[in-house]
Amino acid sequence: MSTPLVLDGKALAKSVEQELAARVQRIKEKTGVTPILATILVGNDPASVTYVRMK
Protein backbone atom coordinates (compact mmCIF):
# COMPACT_ATOMS: atom_id res chain seq x y z
CA MET A 1 0.00 0.00 0.00
CA SER A 2 1.08 3.55 -0.59
CA THR A 3 1.03 6.30 2.01
CA PRO A 4 -1.35 9.20 1.40
CA LEU A 5 0.28 12.49 0.47
CA VAL A 6 -1.01 15.59 2.21
CA LEU A 7 -0.78 18.70 0.06
CA ASP A 8 -0.71 22.26 1.34
CA GLY A 9 -3.15 23.79 -1.14
CA LYS A 10 -2.47 27.38 -0.10
CA ALA A 11 1.29 27.01 -0.51
CA LEU A 12 0.85 25.24 -3.84
CA ALA A 13 -1.56 27.92 -5.11
CA LYS A 14 0.86 30.67 -4.05
CA SER A 15 3.71 28.95 -5.86
CA VAL A 16 1.67 28.52 -9.04
CA GLU A 17 0.49 32.14 -8.89
CA GLN A 18 4.04 33.45 -8.48
CA GLU A 19 5.30 31.33 -11.37
CA LEU A 20 2.43 32.44 -13.59
CA ALA A 21 2.95 36.12 -12.70
CA ALA A 22 6.61 35.84 -13.69
CA ARG A 23 5.71 34.18 -17.01
CA VAL A 24 3.10 36.86 -17.77
CA GLN A 25 5.63 39.59 -16.99
CA ARG A 26 8.19 38.03 -19.36
CA ILE A 27 5.58 37.83 -22.13
CA LYS A 28 4.60 41.48 -21.56
CA GLU A 29 8.24 42.60 -21.68
CA LYS A 30 9.06 40.52 -24.76
CA THR A 31 5.95 41.21 -26.86
CA GLY A 32 4.20 44.20 -25.31
CA VAL A 33 1.04 42.08 -25.11
CA THR A 34 -0.74 41.24 -21.87
CA PRO A 35 -2.08 37.65 -21.93
CA ILE A 36 -5.75 37.19 -21.05
CA LEU A 37 -7.99 34.25 -20.27
CA ALA A 38 -10.93 33.84 -22.62
CA THR A 39 -14.01 31.67 -22.22
CA ILE A 40 -15.56 30.03 -25.26
CA LEU A 41 -19.17 28.92 -25.01
CA VAL A 42 -20.15 25.92 -27.11
CA GLY A 43 -23.81 25.04 -27.28
CA ASN A 44 -26.75 26.70 -25.60
CA ASP A 45 -26.97 25.17 -22.13
CA PRO A 46 -28.65 27.80 -19.87
CA ALA A 47 -26.38 26.97 -16.93
CA SER A 48 -23.29 27.41 -19.10
CA VAL A 49 -24.60 30.70 -20.48
CA THR A 50 -25.12 31.98 -16.93
CA TYR A 51 -21.65 30.81 -15.89
CA VAL A 52 -19.96 32.57 -18.81
CA ARG A 53 -22.01 35.74 -18.31
CA MET A 54 -20.91 35.88 -14.66
CA LYS A 55 -17.24 35.64 -15.58
- For residue 1, pLDDT over 90 is answered with no
- pLDDT, mean of residues 4-29: 96
Judged by phi (left if over 0) then psi (alpha if -120 to 50, else beta), residue 34 lies in beta
Enumerate the domain spans of the chain: 9-54
DSSP string, 13-32: HHHHHHHHHHHHHHHHHHHS
9 vs 53, which has greater pLDDT? 9
- pLDDT tens profile 23-37: 999 999 999 999 998
- What pLDDT does residue 37 have? 87
User: Which pTM value belongs to this model?
Assistant: 0.61
